[in-house]
Amino acid sequence: MFKNIENLKAPDVERHTVEYQVLSDAEIIGGIDYGPYLLRPWEFNEKKGPGDERWLLLRVTEKAFSADENPWQHATPKGDYHGGGIPSELTALGSLFLRRRVRLGAMVRLDDSPLYVSGFPGHVDEGLVAGRSNFGDLNEWFELVKQLKSDLQLPFILAAKFYQQAIDLIEEKPDLAYLSLVSAIEVLSQDFAVPLPTLAEINERLARMVGRIGEDDLRNEITEQIIEREFLTSRRFVAFIVAHTGDEFWRAEGRPEQGRGRVEPAQLPELMRRIYNQRSRTLHRGEPFPPNIFHPPGIASEMPLGLGMVIGERRWDPEDFIPHTSFFERLVNHVLKNFLRRNLEREAD
């Protein structure tokens, strides 16, 4: 936002201007003309009251970057990135400082041409709306839930609620949907048995430091606590998903062809580790998800295509990629159903 203001001061700099619809359900008056940014009311309707949606207008003038500037060379995996551009910055700051819901809407003008473009970053997830479903199919599933081990019934329902929340958010807020999908698995994986690593396998330097503790019981207790707190949760998450992913998941119809962004079974453990690590960085460091989950591909694809992604100063190499949200949603749905089938109370003989 402020770097753009400085960029526009250069002589003969190329620029473009875009106008956006902005939405709020509270009355906002006046306007701000802050350099290359204009934010003001657009719709005037005295009949609207608190809670009614109102339209405002945002105009943004930005420097137009050319391919000759080669942003790939200047961007780094550690570059600053907050998950959006200048319009999202301005509306986020408006929400914070006015304490109002201020949401970015459609693009309505590009330079001097009226142009209405809506649906970004939202999209229609075809896997959730195509075809026809029948409530009658629930009878068999309800019977399985009734037979689920009693100590697992409430955790399973909670996992289902996280999944429900995810598919409600997946088109408009895919990052929050991703977090909800991870939580749906965490509910059920927290007691999943995994082999215990040694502290040296995880962090050799830390193991040497702990090894200097003279008292055996205290040293062992500290080691166990470090491993439990820092490392077993992610290992359980990965192992749980791998253990509950059946061959039928990989044979599902509509998957992309090999080499066209398709996830292969051998990649699953590493990709699940990346997902969990991203979840931790988002929750504990405030790091946004990679841009591919906000802009799903126009073709059937489970992973980003290409040799990398760049937004501003931030770069993602292929080893940083995580699957598109639609792939992870389908995987979590499959895993939850498999977990249900494998944890039924056996009828007494």
- pLDDT-based confidence at residue 122 (cuts at 50, 70, 90): low
**Would 250 be classed as within a structural domain?**
yes
List 260's β-bridge partners, or say none.
Answer: none
Residue 206 confidence (pLDDT)? 80
Quote the pTM value. 0.76
Residue 45 confidence (pLDDT)? 86
pLDDT in tens, 127-178: 787 787 888 888 899 999 999 999 999 999 999 999 999 988 888 889 999 9
**Would 348 be classed as within a structural domain?**
no
Same domain? For 136 and 284 the reply is yes
Residue 129 confidence (pLDDT)? 78
**Would 19 be classed as within a structural domain?**
yes
Residue 347 confidence (pLDDT)? 47
Same domain? For 162 and 243 the reply is yes
Same domain? For 33 and 150 the reply is no
Same domain? For 309 and 161 the reply is yes
Place of tokens 């791998």: 242
Burial environment of residue 19 by CB neighbours within 10 A (0 to 12, 13 to 18, 19 or more): buried
Residue 20: pLDDT above 90?
yes
CA separation for the pair 76, 266 (Å, rounded):
28
Output the six-digit token pair for 286.
Answer: 């405030």
Query: Which of the listed residues 90, 117, 144 is the one where a domain comes to its end?
Result: 117
Contacts of 291 (CB under 8 A, 6+ apart): 83, 309, 311, 316
Tally of domains within the chain: 2
Please name the amino acid found at residue 70: N
**Would 318 be classed as within a structural domain?**
yes
Same domain? For 105 and 237 the reply is no
- Contact indicator for 57, 21 with CB cutoff of 8 Å: yes
pLDDT in tens, 48-81: 989 999 999 999 999 887 766 666 666 766 666 6
Residue 133 confidence (pLDDT)? 84
Same domain? For 243 and 196 the reply is yes
Among 38-42, 65-69, 232-236, name the most confident range: 38-42
**Would 328 be classed as within a structural domain?**
yes
Same domain? For 91 and 152 the reply is no
Residue 53 confidence (pLDDT)? 92
What residue numbers bound the domain in which 21 lies? 2-117
List 103's β-bridge partners, or say none.
Answer: 23
Burial environment of residue 337 by CB neighbours within 10 A (0 to 12, 13 to 18, 19 or more): middle
Residue 108 confidence (pLDDT)? 93
First to last CA, the chain: 70
Query: Which of the listed residues 63, 98, 117 is the one where a domain comes to its end?
Result: 117
**Looking at residues 202-208, what average pLDDT do you find?**
80
Same domain? For 226 and 189 the reply is yes
Tell me the three-class secondary structure of 204-270, residue by residue.
Answer: HHHHHHHHCCCCHHHHHHHHHHHHHHHHHHHHHHHHHHHHCCCHHHHCCCCCCCCCCCCCCHHHHHH
Looking at per-residue pLDDT, the higher value among 249 and 83 belongs to 249
Looking at per-residue pLDDT, the higher value among 242 and 226 belongs to 242
Residue 349 confidence (pLDDT)? 34
pLDDT in tens, 294-317: 876 666 788 888 777 777 777 788
Residue 83 confidence (pLDDT)? 63
Place of tokens 């809407």: 105
CA separation for the pair 304, 311 (Å, rounded):
15
Same domain? For 65 and 136 the reply is no
